[in-house]
Amino acid sequence: MKFANDFLFGAASAAYQVEGAWDQDGKGPTNWDEFTKIPGKTFEGTNGDVAVDHYNRYKEDIALMAEMGLESYRFSISWARIFPNGSGEINQKGIDFYNNLIDECLKYGIVPFVTLYHWDLPLPLEKEGAWLNKNTADAYVEYAKLCFNEFGDRVKNFITFNETVVFAALGYMSGAHPPGIQNDPKKYFQVTHNVFYAHARTIIEYKKLNQFGEIGLSHVFSPAFAVDDSPANEFAAEHANQFGVNWFYDPILKGEYPEYVVKQLEESGLLPDWTLEELAVIKQAAPLNDFMGLNYYQPMRVEKIEQPVEQVEHSLENSTGSPGNPSFDHVFRTVKMDDKKYTKWDWEISPTGFVDGLVMLKDQYGQIKLYITENGLGDEDPIIEGAVCDIPRINFLNDHLCAVKEAIDRGVHIKGFYSWSAIDLLSWLNGYKKQYGFIYVDHQNGLARKKKASFHWYKEIIDTRGESLAR
Ligand code: BGP
């Protein structure tokens, strides 16, 4: 059961969800700083103004991660700390913060794994159309180049974007994320293309610098499975994977969009406006992509539908990832199944879906290098006599790490695992109630940190390189 010595046991976070200090030291406002202040958008109106104050307490947090034996910390850079307006003027204090954070990791031998974009966009760029405006890609490439020049001597793993599907779909289809637009598939597909083009340009720029690190991007990995083996539902799963997996993975790994989807978007007038030059850049960049990051929480169970069905209204308690909704084209809907297990927020718990999905990916794309850049359990952790007894999280991570090992044994090339999250943090829509961390943050007691049961468990797993996992 041992994982190889060069497999990284990590944990992750994202700037808006942990840093706080939203206007400290010259940081500019972002789309999320604005969006969370609109009444009704987040659970109990929570926002990241203070979050868990990682900006001011990063030394304490990194020391705890080191004590846990963490080998790598995935965090994101807030673009607006570095370019308060998105482009132009540079804020040296923002650069200093990330230099300090990186150096603090390296002091303990923790590998910094850096996400350049985890959804917090400088507000002026949001106002000018965000990712619908092609100038945003120009500004992004400049920002990324600055990060490579400032941090690339010590950071050897860069992720360009986190989960394009989420900020595009929740931004322009469900309206749950900024800019809060609903049911606009034309814009949704346009955003995905503009982001893939920005990704391609960025990795070409990175390679020109000869920093000899790795660069890739992180996608949601939510493979679709049919609810039964009827041909109609098998077709629904294939269709869902074309739109949910191939549309996102093909342009990055193969440098072109899947024909099946392109054809249907053409017919329905939803094809993004793209130029031949953009398509050529995407093609040129594909072989330069060093890895793919997968964020796996749950698979999708799908069934074919014969006529349009109503969109399910998700409350903030219920969260956007729960099943029940039709696809945008009303070909299928996702289903909650009686024989499956779900979290309190209705996300299916399925380590077997993880293995099956990973093997499916290998069959389609070959042995590309993968990192599991997120996986974890959102829960309300029980506190018993002052101790945070997050046993369900231990069980969840145990089973998903076993799934990763099984996939490796079946030939899937996985080089690391990042639990979401290192420390309790702000869930975008579900506030602080939904916890993910190994480190508890006491919001009633000045944000004091405390080790959870899972903290000690993960330390043991890392120490034994997985040998102590329960099978
Ligand atoms: C992923 C995001 C993370 C994190 C996680 C859990 O999609 O990349 O930032 O938030 O999901 O989601 P939630 O907080 O909604 O439970």
Measured from the Cα of 319, ligand 1's closest atom is 15
List Cβ neighbours of 429 (8 Å cut-off, separation of 6 or more).
41, 42, 43, 176, 316, 319, 320
Any long-range contacts for 57-61 (C-beta under 8 Å, 24+ apart)? 57/447, 57/449, 58/100, 58/101, 58/104, 59/104, 60/449, 61/422, 61/423, 61/439, 61/449
How large is the angle between the packed helices 185-208 and 276-285, nearest 10 degrees? 50
pLDDT digits (tens, 9 = 90+) for 384-425: 999 999 999 999 999 999 999 999 999 999 999 999 999 999
Query: Is pTM beyond 0.85 here?
Result: yes
Q: Is 374 in the pocket of ligand 1 (CB under 6 A)?
A: yes
Predicted confidence band of residue 121 (pLDDT cuts 50, 70, 90): very high
In degrees and rounded to multiples of 5, residue 368 shows phi and psi of: -70, 150
Q: Is 319 in the pocket of ligand 1 (CB under 6 A)?
A: yes
Measured from the Cα of 218, ligand 1's closest atom is 8
Secondary-structure breakdown of the chain: helix, strand, coil percentages, each rounded to the nearest 5: 40, 15, 40
Average pLDDT over residues 360-377: 97
Report DSSP letters for 125-144, one per residue: HHHTTGGGSHHHHHHHHHHH
Predicted confidence band of residue 319 (pLDDT cuts 50, 70, 90): low
Cα(365) to ligand 1 centroid in Å equals 26
Cα(139) to ligand 1 centroid in Å equals 25
pLDDT digits (tens, 9 = 90+) for 323-353: 888 999 999 999 999 999 999 999 999 999 9
Of residues 471 and 461, more confidence is placed in 461
What's the confidence (pLDDT) of residue 262?
A: 98
Of residues 300 and 312, more confidence is placed in 300
What's the confidence (pLDDT) of residue 1?
A: 84
Q: Is 163 in the pocket of ligand 1 (CB under 6 A)?
A: yes
Average pLDDT over residues 80-101: 98
- What are the structural domains of the chain? 8-463 (3.20.20.80)
Average pLDDT over residues 428-454: 97
Q: Does residue 135 carry a pLDDT above 80? A: yes
> How distant, in Å, are the alpha carbons of 41, 42, 178 from that of 429?
7, 5, 12
Cα(18) to ligand 1 centroid in Å equals 12
Please report the beta strands in 237-340, taking only residues with DSSP state E, as ranges in sequence order.
291-295, 300-304, 332-334
List Cβ neighbours of 167 (8 Å cut-off, separation of 6 or more).
119, 131, 177, 191
Q: Is 376 in the pocket of ligand 1 (CB under 6 A)?
A: no
Q: Does residue 313 carry a pLDDT above 80? A: no
What's the confidence (pLDDT) of residue 157?
A: 98
Catalytic residues, which ones? 163, 374
Measured from the Cα of 162, ligand 1's closest atom is 8
Q: Is 419 in the pocket of ligand 1 (CB under 6 A)?
A: no
Q: How far is it, in rounded angstroms, from Cα 244 to Cα 372? A: 18
What's the confidence (pLDDT) of residue 195?
A: 98
Mean pLDDT of the chain: 96
What's the confidence (pLDDT) of residue 152?
A: 98
Q: How far is it, in rounded angstroms, from Cα 190 to Cα 200? A: 15
Q: Is 43 in the pocket of ligand 1 (CB under 6 A)?
A: no
Cβ-count burial of 303 within 10 angstroms (0-12 exposed, 13-18 middle, 19+ buried)?
A: middle
pLDDT digits (tens, 9 = 90+) for 172-203: 999 999 999 999 999 999 999 999 999 999 99
Q: Is 162 in the pocket of ligand 1 (CB under 6 A)?
A: yes
- Closest residue to atom 10 of ligand 1, CA basis: 427
Cα(430) to ligand 1 centroid in Å equals 10
